[in-house]
Structure 1
Amino acid sequence: MDTKKPYILAIVIVAIYTGMYVISKAAFNQGMNSFVFVFYRQAAASLLLVPIALVLERKNVQSLPLGLLLKLFFLALIGSTLGLNLSNASVTLTSATVASATSNSTPVITFCLALLLRMEVVKFRSSSGIAKVIGVALCLAGALTIAFYTGPSFSPINHHRAFRARTAHASKAPSHGTWVIGTFLMVLSNVTWSLWMVWQAVLLKEYPNKMLITTVQCVLSMVQSFVVAAVAERDFTKWKLHFDISLLAVAYTGFVVTGISYYLQAWCVQIKGPVFIAVWNPLCFVLTIFCSSSFLGEIVHLGSIVGGLLLVCGLYSVLWGKSRECKFFECTANTVNGVQDGQEHKSPQATELGKKGQEKATSMSAVEVV
């Protein structure tokens, strides 16, 4: 059962994220302001995480240095506050399917950022380097396809949708210009998430307490999101929550997504490695197409499907290249260490090669947090 647990949890995480895309879109169709929604979501998550953190990490709370708190403030600003607001604005302008499809670009964007920061190296003459370059190109092609190519549309699977739009404007198909803007907002959101992943991997090495770091970020993001929402929506009568899909969406994304799935994801990454979670992203894309068509009555366009498939192919191409590269460095390090163990006089060149291989494998695993 222990060997199957990561796979079961991965499917649970995929199902949770599918529900997040569908329920959030349903709330926005009902007239919920996306910026106010982010504040309520972070407030609900804080309400869940703070008591748990105070019970489990009471002694460690007082030991948080001021420098780390400042880093967590900017980390929350980039990942949670900016990333979630851009993502929800995109879902409002496009569809749940687009949001799920473009999420496959996050590991590839993370790789590109690591390349710019010189945390990654691409060898164009190696099969792993070629695979990573092809993956980046496919992801770019996928994003452009979703943005600029609509194509034939497919009728909803269920015409008696569970969550009907409250306004006629919400039920209308978005214009081409709105669709393009929404797609690129989602890509920009994925860029912020990628920055957040790289930076959080570094912070977790400095302070390896996932529960406390997650909770502090959540509280800081709640305060930041309130400021953003207050500026974006000054009519506080529209902040009122009713017993409808909006309240369900806030509770679901706050308690289940932020409070539970993030912790499950961190556990899976710790046990099986960061690539393990990324491999399951395409399943979320498939489930979101089915659920958004069934429950929201969304019209799925061929361009979204083709673009999503290109993004999936790009994701797997980059992951294959990185896994092959990691195996090479591990093999090199193990071979050098084995030779060293059998020799009385160690070669300085061999020692340096083994260290570089081990450092390279470590840095790549840190970058691949997804």
Structure 2
Amino acid sequence: MTDILVLGAGYTGVTAAIRVARKTRRTGGKVTLVNASARFTERLRLHQTAAGERLADHRLDDVLAGSGVTFVQGRVTGLDVGRRAVELDDGRVLGYDKLIYALGTVTDASVPGVAEHAFVYDDHAGTVRLSERLDTLTGGTVVVAGGGLTGVESATELAEARPHLRVVLVTRGRPGAMMGDGARAYLDAALRRLGVEVRDGAHITKVLPDAVELGDGELIQADATLWTTGTKALPLAADSGLSVDARGRIVVDAALRSVSHPDVYAIGDAAAITQRYGVLHGTCQGGIPTGLHAADSLAATLRGRTPKPFRFGYFHQPVSLGRQDAVIQFTRPDDSPRRWYLTGRAAVTYKETVSGSPITTFRLLKRGLVPVWAFAMTAGL
């Protein structure tokens, strides 16, 4: 019997757990998945929760039913890679033979006042608190910090669902700066149509209880501030002695094994994964393929085989612009924009098809199947 412990039940962790349980069923794999919450959170849809939409409540016991994976609820507080042991917040200690680290990242709250006064998307409960705060407002201003895809989706969702509120998007660069000219122009038009006030070329130096302070000293009144400007790895990996990069992500080899402790696999946002065009940046688009590959690598190792190297290429940048609009920027494998993009209802349909509820993906994995789009990200690169 090989004890395989998976830490973190986001998209990547659940994917890896279900896949490795199926792959090691005949070779004595015993898979345990640890997560702080009993709920599976669709982080890609947290902006919808913030806007007031109540999404389905997926319990991890139900998600994992029939997969052969045992679920343990608990927050990881310690990792001893020498003893191969994980400590939980209630004092329990879980041993392992192989570990898949999928704890992801949390919001970078290094700017003064963020931790005390801003709302973040670190979990479902925190997002519900933002929604409840907005429910109390009959007017006023919501500041969204960050012009990346998460910030744009949040600003447009809030502006559409809560038109009585002033929504201000504050960003150092242009919103959706990673997109091509055509897609970015469409995104800009959607922001104007929904009445989002864009303050580009600005950065927030302090978050106050009722305002944000910009670099030039200007104050923007804020009845609620949502912070989406960046994330950072948990200190757990570095504290354990695993080799990490400058951002605290576990450095892995081509099989997604830690370069310092090969019994540990790291996936998703928690891993520094090098491809020929550079290091992957965290997205669900890349996260699920890393979960699949780590599971396959681990299973191959247990069978005495050499794992295949991980190969991945980006394919698109899907962005919702409220419930009735979206823009899809198609990309080269290195995530640079191609000429082609999709807009409007066709883009909405595309986005829902590709990044809809992952529950369907998990059901396919239990049957030994992999979604076609996951193959598309790794084939022919």
Scaled by the length of structure 2, the TM-score of the pair is 0.28
Q: Which has the higher strand share?
A: 2
Give the number of the structure whose residues are more often helix, by fraction: 1
Tell me the TM-score normalized by structure 1.
0.29
Larger radius of gyration: 1
